[in-house]
Structure 1
Amino acid sequence: MSEPRARPDPAFALLEVYEAALPQVYGYLLARCGSRAQAEELTSETFLAAVQSARNGGGPVGPAWLIGIARHKLVDHWRRREREERGLRLIHADPDIEDPWDEHLDAFQAREVLATLSPNHRCALTLRYLDGLPVPEVAKLLGRTVHATEALLVRARAAFRRAYPGGCDD
């Protein structure tokens, strides 16, 4: 009878990509949440989730896979914030605002304005315009229907335009 052999922990595959992936994951999160402390916390959550996923037979371990996990952690963070702030505000759409979304915006001002928006609006705009995801993918990540996501994006763009210094339409 042979001795049972211990199988290596699949999470050790993360060690091979950790050094290269850490700055990419942290940079991705920092650019989207704007807070170093929050980016650090989400980065640690990302790697903890990656270890768990690797142990459960998750995807191919690599930087792109880790960025995908980071994206989900960021969405989860914004959902938590939205739930916390939900009772504090009234969301309404302004039908008189035109849609100059293709205008060139100052990146620094745009980031500051995004930080003032509700987590739901910030999340939708970030996924759609910073990450460049199509609306159906944004809907999937947010756990909404495509139509509900389109409506959310309309409200989020209107809120962004109202908050952007000097307006962003001509």
Structure 2
Amino acid sequence: MSVESGHRDAPRELLELYDEALPVVYGYFTRRCGDRATAEDLTSDTFLAAMDAARKPAPPPMTVPWLIGVARHKLADHYRRRHARGSVALGAQPPAADPPAPRATAQGPNVADAVLAQLPEHHRTVLALRYLDDCTVGECAELIGRTVHATETLLVRARRAFRSHYPSPEGGPS
């Protein structure tokens, strides 16, 4: 807060938060995109949007959780643009028999991250929104621009894909 005017200096707050927030926001995207260039672009877009918001007359609080919220919207916008261009073929996966229930992640979060990185972008996105960001299916549907029913179907396929890539206790995919 500026002592002279009594008003917050949100752009300065964002600048002071940058070093702490950058790895968190970038990490958010790398776990969800699997593509370094896309993660870098979306991280940049997030901070540009944050600076635009910081310059408004009544800026939001400049915090890491608020920046992750901005990042979530940037990821959803990215996903919508790709879907609108037809570059995400949602019906391309052949139907598969239900795999066994997911195992506990006793092998650690790095295994789960590695498995997510192997999945197609639309699967990574919907799984991340649902299970990492704790969005409801309805919220996921809204963020990715699909109906609730289509999102439920996508989640079923994404979970199957995740399970099929998750290593068995013997070390290979299940």
Q: Which moved more, 1:12-21 or 1:64-73?
A: 12-21
**Cα distance in 1 for residues equivalent to 2:33 and 2:123:** 13
Unpaired runs of 5+ residues, structure 2, are 1-7
**Structure 1 counterpart of 2:64:** 63
Q: Secondary structure at the match of 2:92?
A: coil
- Matches of 1:125 and 1:90, distance apart in 2: 18
Q: What TM-score results when the alignment is normalised by the length of structure 2? A: 0.71
How far apart are 1:10 and its partner, in Å? 5.6
- Separation of aligned partners in 2, 1:32 and 1:120: 9
Q: Which amino acid aligns with 1:49?
A: A
- Contact kept? 1:138, 1:149, Cα under 8 Å: yes
Aligned length in residues: 160
Deviation at residue 121 of structure 1 after TM alignment:
1.1
Number of the residue aligned with 2:138:
136
**C-alpha offsets along residues 11-47 of structure 1, whole Å, 9 cap, x if unaligned?**
4442243233223222322333344443332211110
Q: 1:88 to 1:70 in 2, by over 3 A?
A: closer
Letter in 2 for 1:15: L
**RMSD of equivalent CA atoms:** 3.1
Aligned-pair CA distance for 1:123: 0.4
Residue identity (%): 52
In the other structure, the counterpart of 2:152 is: 150
Give the 3 Å change call, closer, same or farther, for CA 147–68 of structure 1 in structure 2: same
Q: Structure 1, unaligned stretches of length 5 or more?
A: 1-7
